[in-house]
Amino acid sequence: MIMYFSPKCDHCIQQWKEMTARMDELKEFQIVMATYQPFEEMVEFYKNYQLNTYKNILIGRDIKFALPPFYVMNTLPYFALYDKKGNLITTFEGNVKVDTLIGSFKKTR
């Protein structure tokens, strides 16, 4: 699962809080968080929300701003869900219920 976000975006922060509240259910999914914002903001988010405590979370910067045009993003947060073979399952723009994210993966099993 790719989550494209902005560290200071209220919608992204709210989405992340909902996800961390359900991390027991999300721990089986690898979550790659990507942002185009400055490195310092990304690090602040990483520290504030203790991303180091989640083994299934990777975070990085999209320094070339490659993902938004690739996915034709209009709203953050943005999700791109992939199966284990690397096939795109679906995408979501804006806040998404955790049940919807998990349910999207279950449909492919």
Q: Give the CATH number for residue 47.
A: 3.40.30.10
Residue 64: give the domain boundaries: 2-106
Sheet bearing 88-93, strands edge to edge = 57-61, 31-35, 2-4, 78-82, 88-93
The pLDDT of residue 106: 84
Query: What are the DSSP calls for the chain, one per residue?
Result: -EEE--TT-HHHHHHHHHHHHTHHHHTTS-EEEEE-S-HHHHHHHHHHTTGGG-TTEEEEE-TT--HHHHHT--SSSEEEEE-TTS-EEEEEES---HHHHHHHHHTT-
Q: Render each residue's pLDDT in the chain as its tens digit; 109 residues.
A: 999 999 999 999 999 999 999 999 999 999 999 999 999 999 999 999 999 999 999 999 999 999 999 999 999 999 999 999 999 999 999 999 999 999 999 876 5
The pLDDT of residue 107: 74
Structurally, how many domains does the chain consist of? 1
The pLDDT of residue 109: 57
d(C-alpha 29, C-alpha 81), whole Å: 10
d(C-alpha 108, C-alpha 21), whole Å: 24
